[in-house]
Amino acid sequence: MLQITPQHRLLLAVEPVDFRKGIDGLKALCRQKLLDDPFSGTVFVFTNRMRTSVKLFVYDASGFWLCQKRFSRGKLAWWPTGVSPSVELRSSELLILLAQGHPIKANLPEDWRSIAYAAASDDSNEALVVS
């Protein structure tokens, strides 16, 4: 089962991708175009030229996941542009994007403190309770 959590690093490829590419093609694209390690655990997010479909690509220590969503109606309302080959996104923003929403216009609050930072700076011996 694939679950996207706030701890995941999410990278959206700015340029559309030929969706005939499979695992090996996307692995090469991550290295050559996005200049990132496909074995890092990063969730790579791709779209096709028409923005009617999205692919998620991630390595989970035992193999690669390649998931695709093709929209029944319409297309993506937003996709990043710019000179950078990729853009980082938070997990909450990805969920909005996958629902064909606009993650930037959603006006989500910034993370108060990153989870990795919170765990590393906790000097107490008490268990972490999440409510």
CA separation for the pair 54, 69 (Å, rounded): 5
Per-residue pLDDT, 104? 84
Per-residue pLDDT, 131? 44
Per-residue pLDDT, 128? 46
Per-residue pLDDT, 37? 98
Per-residue pLDDT, 118? 47
CA separation for the pair 49, 46 (Å, rounded): 10
CA separation for the pair 20, 129 (Å, rounded): 45
Q: CB count, 10 Å around CB of 3?
A: 6
Tens digit of pLDDT per residue, the chain (131 long)?
678 988 899 999 999 999 999 999 999 999 999 999 999 999 999 999 999 999 999 999 999 999 999 999 999 999 999 999 999 999 999 999 999 999 988 888 877 776 664 444 445 444 444 44
Per-residue pLDDT, 48? 98
Question: Residue 58 carries which DSSP code?
Answer: E
Give the Å distances, CA to CA, from 121 to 33, 75, 131: 35, 42, 19
The ranges assigned to domains in the chain are 10-121
CA separation for the pair 112, 85 (Å, rounded): 27
